[in-house]
Amino acid sequence: MAREKDVSEEVLVTIRQIVRAIGIHSKKLAKTYGLTGPQLIVMQEIADREVLTTGDLAKNISLSHATVTSIVDRLVARGLVNRIRGVQDKRKMYVQLTEEGHTQVMNKPSMLHDTFIKSFKGLETWEQTLLLSSIQRIAAMMNASEIKTDSLLISHPVSATAEEIREYYKEE
């Protein structure tokens, strides 16, 4: 005698399905390519900003600082990313791609599986916009009163300033 699910519950279920599809794809990536989805996201963001602190990195990609630290740990262990201690402010820890990291991110595979990208790009522009704005609206409704810790879900991406970039040296 299955209970009726209301629409907001169905939204949740669908989100879980999406998350799952992404997760499964991530595992597949890790297996065939060696990098998981989150690792690729991190590397892509670092590539985009050249150099930035782990805190800004976390903000930009909407993950907690703790999570980013552990992902960066793995990337450092594999020689794809360097950590750089700030000089001006020694609390800060900058991250940067290594040579190897650069080449990896260059031939990076698509984050979502190709069928999705293909389907999505096959849509009319207005349809893509509609879908994007729909989920953004859902996201906005969820954020309303949340997130007061060290991360803003909706924020402007942050890069290291030119000045900051000048002010670092490699840790041994």
Partner DNA sequence: ATAATATTCTTCGTGTACGATATAATAATG
Partner DNA sequence: CATTATTATATCGTACACGAAGAATATTAT
Residues making contact with DNA (CB under 7 A): 19-20, 23-24, 26-27, 30-31, 36-39, 53-56, 62-67, 69-74, 83, 88-94, 149-150
Contact 81, 75 (CB under 8 A): yes
Nearer CB in complex with DNA: 110/129: 110
Nearer CB in complex with DNA: 130/153: 153
* Residues 150 to 169 in contact with a second copy, rule: CB under 8 A: 153-154, 157, 159
Please tell me whether residue 112 binds a second copy under the rule CB under 8 A: yes
> Which of DNA, a second copy, none lies near 72, with the C-beta cut-off 5 to 8 A by kind?
DNA
**In the chain, where do the E strands start and end?**
52-53, 81-85, 93-97
Please tell me whether residue 147 binds a second copy under the rule CB under 8 A: yes
Residue 142: C-alpha distances to residues 7, 76, 103 (Å)? 15, 34, 38
Query: Which amino acid, one-letter code, is at 83?
Result: R
d(CA 25, CA 3): 32
When binding is defined by CB under 8 A, the residue of 117, 150, 170, 171 that contacts a second copy is: 117
In the sheet that 52-53 helps form, which strands lie side by side, from edge to edge?
A: 52-53, 93-97, 81-85
Nearer CB in complex with DNA: 83/102: 83
